[in-house]
Amino acid sequence: MSYRLELQGIETVTHDTRHLRFVRPKDFTFEPGQAVELSLCRDGWRDEGRPFTMVSHPEDAMLDFVIKIYPEHDGETEQIATLEPGEEVELTDPFGAVTDHGPGTFIAGGAGITPFIALLRTRARKQALDGCRLIFANKAEEDIILREEWEEMEGLETVFVTDAEGDGHPDGPVDRAFLEGRVDPSEGHFYICGPGGMVDAVRDDLKALGVPPDRIVTEEGW
Ligand SMILES: Cc1cc2nc3c(=O)[nH]c(=O)nc-3n(C[C@H](O)[C@H](O)[C@H](O)COP(=O)(O)OP(=O)(O)OC[C@H]3O[C@@H](n4cnc5c(N)ncnc54)[C@H](O)[C@@H]3O)c2cc1C
């Protein structure tokens, strides 16, 4: 099934990410952490869907996305940056993805935070963030998506990691040396989502530190 939605609003989150708002169709249901293929109703783009994750709560009246724009790709996200309210998009049924297996450590790289937005917001509503920690890696401080929201979430411990030296945040990458001494392999689940080879690399590092594979939850294909 597909759903045609009209864009209600588009706002800047960070310099290269946008918050898109739609009205959620009543028959569109999903689990926190799930994604859809989103395509634009523009000539040349109707068959060019890309996967994006809903960041709003499944019961909210609105359906929200946070999308990173890659002008250098000459792809859909460059088009998304130029969308105007009133334009239409098409969504597939939801699929995937990272679902909540219990409290633990959420390790995200850049836009890989999006499935965790949904999961952590849902936990925040239930006041169920005790034992949850967000390790969020970015190139620089200005890339941190929704920083204030994370810092204000009661019970959530935050560690922002950047590649920029001297900004007060621990330096990346989030590798075995970084994780050793910072995480307790015997406690909680470990959720990983990020671009490129990050998921595989962090999964291997966690396993090497003694985290059993059944406590590692990943989102593939970024
Ligand atoms: C399940 C899932 C959920 C996701 N959810 C989100 C989300 O909520 N928010 C979000 O921001 N992202 C999300 N992503 C990632 C998102 O899907 C991609 O960032 C997006 O598809 C990129 O689309 P694009 O059209 O800009 O570029 P692409 O489709 O990656 O590429 C378009 C063209 O650019 C070329 N290209 C690719 N890389 C480069 C490069 N480095 N330099 C030059 N050219 C290049 C490609 O060859 C291709 O021809 C998700 C991914 C998955 C798998």
Instruction: Give the C-alpha separation, 39 to 47, whole Å.
Output: 7
Q: Where are the domains of the chain?
A: 2-92, 104-218
Instruction: Give the C-alpha separation, 2 to 168, whole Å.
Output: 46
Instruction: Give the C-alpha separation, 54 to 84, whole Å.
Output: 19
Decide: 27 in ligand 1 pocket, CB within 6 A.
no
State the distance from the centre of ligand 1 to the C-alpha of 148, rounded, in angstroms.
26
Q: What's the alpha-carbon Rg for the chain, to the nearest Å?
A: 17
Tell me which amino acid residue 76 is: E
Going by CA atoms, what residue is nearest to atom 41 of ligand 1? Answer: 73
**What confidence score (pLDDT) does residue 46 get?**
95
Instruction: Give the C-alpha separation, 122 to 58, whole Å.
Output: 9
At 28-85, the pLDDT tens digits run 999 999 999 999 999 999 999 999 999 999 999 999 999 999 999 999 999 999 999 9
Which numeric CATH code is attached to 2-92?
2.40.30.10
Give the chain's residues under pLDDT 70.
none
Q: Which atom of ligand 1 is nearest to the CA of 55?
A: 8
Pairing of the two strands 9-14 and 216-218:
unpaired
Which numeric CATH code is attached to 104-218?
3.40.50.80
Residue among 57, 52, 65, 98 nearest 193 (CA):
98
**What confidence score (pLDDT) does residue 51 get?**
96
Decide: 77 in ligand 1 pocket, CB within 6 A.
yes
**What confidence score (pLDDT) does residue 196 get?**
79
Instruction: Give the C-alpha separation, 52 to 33, whole Å.
Output: 10
Same CATH topology for 2-92 and 104-218: the answer is: no
Q: What is the pTM of this model?
A: 0.94
Q: Residue 43 has which token pair?
A: 């000539």
Q: Which atom of ligand 1 is nearest to the CA of 65?
A: 8
Decide: 51 in ligand 1 pocket, CB within 6 A.
yes
The sign of the dihedral angle between the CA atoms of 137, 141, 144, 146 is positive
Helix/strand/coil (H, E, C) string of the chain? CEEEEECCEEEEEECCEEEEEEECCCCCCCCCCCEEEEEECCCCCCCCCEEEEECCCCCCCEEEEEEECCHHHCCHHHHHCCCCCCCEEEEECCECCCCCCCCEEEEEEHHHHHHHHHHHHHHHHCCCCCCEEEEEEECCHHHCCCHHHHHHCCCEEEEEEECCCCCCCCECCCCHHHHECCECCCCCEEEEECCCCHHHHHHHHHHHCCCCHHHEEECCCC
Going by CA atoms, what residue is nearest to atom 14 of ligand 1? Answer: 52
